[in-house]
Amino acid sequence: MPSFRNELHLNDLEVALALEGEERRQQDGVELIPSENYTYPEVLELLGSVFTNKYSEGYPGRRYYGGQEFTDQIENLARQRACALFRAEHANVQPLSGSPMNQAVYLGLLQPGDTILAMDLSHGGHLTHGAPVSHMGRLFNFARYKTQPSNGGAIDFDELRAMARNVRPKLVLCGYSSYPRDLDYASFKSIADEVGALTMADVSHYGGLIAGNALRNPLDAGFDVMTTTSHKTLRGPRGGIVLCRREFAGKIDASVFPGLQGGPHMNVVAGTAVTLKKASTPDFHAYAKLVMRNAKVLAEALMEHGMTLITGGTDNHMMVVDTVASVGLDGGAAENILDAVGVTANKQIIPDDPRPPLKPSGIRLGTPAATTRGMGEPEMRLIAELIAESLRSKGDAAVVKRLRSNSVEMCRAFPVPGIAPPS
Ligand SMILES: *Cc1c(COP(=O)(O)O)cnc(C)c1O
């Protein structure tokens, strides 16, 4: 046992036990929340390194505090690697997470009250895309576009064009947290150009799949700004990265600091630098493709078990199961049953969901974390069985008990990076 564990046990038993419990939970459970992943052991170490002690307000070469020779090195590395990886002209790696990252872009490039065209929350957009409960939703005038059932559940660009002509947005925003398809960035760009709007893609969920050349890169279609978290498919520490064209570099940097934040978290920036280097390797490209292959296998197996998927499948790392239509259970009840089986998923609203957010119509599943552990096609088929059988039993205690021991046994064969295997 490393000595920090001994210290923690002696000084704070409650937190020590919670840490052990969380490790056991992550080791013994199947993680299917599509926004989660297991970061690299090197990143875990860097997060706990002395870089956390350092204040680095400002940017490399122009900081407000001394002692920056090594923090400047890691931030420059992270910025250069981000630009190379995503074919971007400028990168800011300081946002403390995905939400402040998006806020910094809106506040840096627009004026309060400006109109932003963004994807509706229930159709897959994120809270920070102007959901009425978010502060950004009060500060800016969001117009929300939707997916169309008549279009196979995809975005209808004729409708989007008509909407853009009507509301004259200053910014056209795309990207999603709950939409199982790739996006046609060229169409977004042509609509934005027609009305003189800026373009922004928030690829927080699938930045790693773009880095791995498995999904399209909006910057290749001429987008002005792209934002991504570093901790989802990219597998890094929790943080945000803004990528943009050179002409917006000054506005974006000033908006992140001093506009929105104080000192960046340099322990995170160090982890981001390592993550971006790893994401440029052939191994990571193979990983990105496997994530999507596993998602296809899981989606198809679920449909073979009679489950109804929104849009009828997936082209990325995630899928949304309509549990009400499939088995007559709301997403909250389904999430609880799956938790008992050792499968972690999240309840999810579906397009124009008539049900409330805590008892929505579905669940959202994704394969980035399971793929990181090394799970492949056989495991995806087994997981589909665990899900379908447990939900169909409506959480019958005997069924759940049997399935839980199957899932724990499967997990034992796939150690979690950064957790010592059970002895
Ligand atoms: C996760 C996510 C965010 C926010 O990231 P946090 O780190 O949770 O603040 C923003 N946009 C999209 C599309 C996301 O999926």
Q: Which of helix, strand or coil describes residue 1?
A: coil
Domain 45-278, architecture per CATH:
3-Layer(aba) Sandwich (3.40)
Grade residue 288 by pLDDT with cuts at 50, 70 and 90.
very high
Q: How far is the CA of 204 from the centre of ligand 1 (A)?
A: 6
Q: Which of 229, 272, 275, 371 is catalytic?
A: 229
Among the listed residues 95, 103, 120, 230, the one whose alpha carbon sits nearest the alpha carbon of residue 175? 120
Q: How far is the CA of 126 from the centre of ligand 1 (A)?
A: 7
What ligand 1 atom has the least distance to the C-alpha of 97? Answer: 7
Taking only Cα atoms into account, the Rg of the chain, rounded to an integer number of angstroms, comes to: 22
* 63-74 confidence digits (pLDDT tens): 999 999 999 999
Grade residue 3 by pLDDT with cuts at 50, 70 and 90.
confident
Give the end-to-end CA distance of the chain in Å, rounded to a whole number: 12
What ligand 1 atom has the least distance to the C-alpha of 175? Answer: 13
- Which residues lie closer than 8 Å to 175 by C-beta, 6 or more apart? 119, 125, 126, 129, 183, 200, 201, 202, 203, 204, 205, 227
* 298-335 confidence digits (pLDDT tens): 999 999 999 999 999 999 999 999 999 999 999 999 99
What average pLDDT score do residues 29-49 get? 97
Q: Which of 28, 45, 57, 389 is catalytic?
A: 57
Q: How far is the CA of 71 from the centre of ligand 1 (A)?
A: 26
Residue nearest (by alpha carbon) to ligand 1 atom 7: 98
Give catalytic status of residue 232 as yes or no. yes
Q: Which of 31, 75, 202, 330 is catalytic?
A: 202
| Contact present, 122 and 149 (Cβ < 8 Å) | no
User: Where in the sequence of the chain do the CATH 3.40.640.10 domains occur?
Assistant: 45-278
The interaxial angle of helices 266-278 and 69-86, nearest 10 deg, is 40
Q: For residue 404, give both structure tokens.
A: 């839980």
Which of 97, 119, 204 has most ligand 1 atoms within 8 Å of CB, for mutation? 204
Q: Which of 45, 55, 63, 394 is catalytic?
A: 55
β-partners of residue 270 are: none
Q: H/E/C letters for each residue in 348-370? A: ECCCCCCCCCCCCCEEEEECHHH
Q: For residue 353, give both structure tokens.
A: 């969901």
E strands in 34-137 = 58-59, 62-63, 90-92, 115-119
b/e per residue 366-389 (b: at least 16 CB within 10 A) = bbbbbbbbebeeebbbbbbbbbbb
> DSSP characters for 132-199?
TTSHHHHHSEEEEE-EEGGGTTEE-HHHHHHHHHHH--SEEEE--SS--S---HHHHHHHHHHHT-EE
What ligand 1 atom has the least distance to the C-alpha of 203? Answer: 13
* 128-147 confidence digits (pLDDT tens): 999 999 999 999 999 999 99
Q: Which residues line ligand 1 (CB under 6 A)?
A: 35, 97-99, 102, 126, 128, 175-177, 202, 204-205, 229
Give catalytic status of residue 335 as yes or no. no
Q: Which of helix, strand or coil describes residue 13?
A: helix
Q: How far is the CA of 99 from the centre of ligand 1 (A)?
A: 6
**C-alpha to C-alpha distance for 197 and 128, rounded to whole angstroms:** 19
Among the listed residues 173, 309, 316, the one whose alpha carbon sits nearest the alpha carbon of residue 232? 316
Q: How many helices (H) and strands (E) does the chain have?
A: 17, 16
Task: Tokens 């922004």: give the residue.
Answer: 200
What ligand 1 atom has the least distance to the C-alpha of 102? Answer: 10
User: Where in the sequence of the chain do the CATH 3.90.1150.10 domains occur?
Assistant: 288-412
**Residue 258: is the preceding peptide bond cis (ω within 30°)?**
yes
**C-alpha to C-alpha distance for 415 and 201, rounded to whole angstroms:** 34
Q: What pairing do the DSSP bridges indicate for beta strands 362-366 and 318-322?
A: antiparallel
* 218-256 confidence digits (pLDDT tens): 999 999 999 999 999 999 999 999 999 999 999 999 999
What ligand 1 atom has the least distance to the C-alpha of 129? Answer: 11
Q: Per the annotation, where are the binding residues?
A: 121, 125-127
Grade residue 336 by pLDDT with cuts at 50, 70 and 90.
very high
Q: Per the annotation, where are the binding residues for (6S)-5,6,7,8-tetrahydrofolate?
A: 121, 125-127
Query: Which pLDDT score is estimated for 280?
Result: 98
DSSP 311: G
Query: Which pLDDT score is estimated for 4?
Result: 85
* 342-399 confidence digits (pLDDT tens): 999 999 999 999 999 999 999 999 999 999 999 999 999 999 999 999 999 999 999 9
Which of 96, 183, 229, 265 has most ligand 1 atoms within 8 Å of CB, for mutation? 229
Angstrom distances, CA of residue 388 to CA of 70, 325, 336: 51, 13, 14
At residue 411, does pLDDT exceed 70? yes
User: How many Cβ atoms sit within 10 Å of the Cβ of residue 15?
Assistant: 11
**C-alpha to C-alpha distance for 199 and 188, rounded to whole angstroms:** 8
**C-alpha to C-alpha distance for 98 and 311, rounded to whole angstroms:** 26
Q: How far is the CA of 118 from the centre of ligand 1 (A)?
A: 14
| Contact present, 129 and 155 (Cβ < 8 Å) | no
Fold of domain 288-412: Aspartate Aminotransferase, domain 1 (3.90.1150)
What average pLDDT score do residues 187-215 get? 98
Query: What predicted TM-score, i.e. pTM, was given to this entire model?
Result: 0.96
Give catalytic status of residue 55 as yes or no. yes
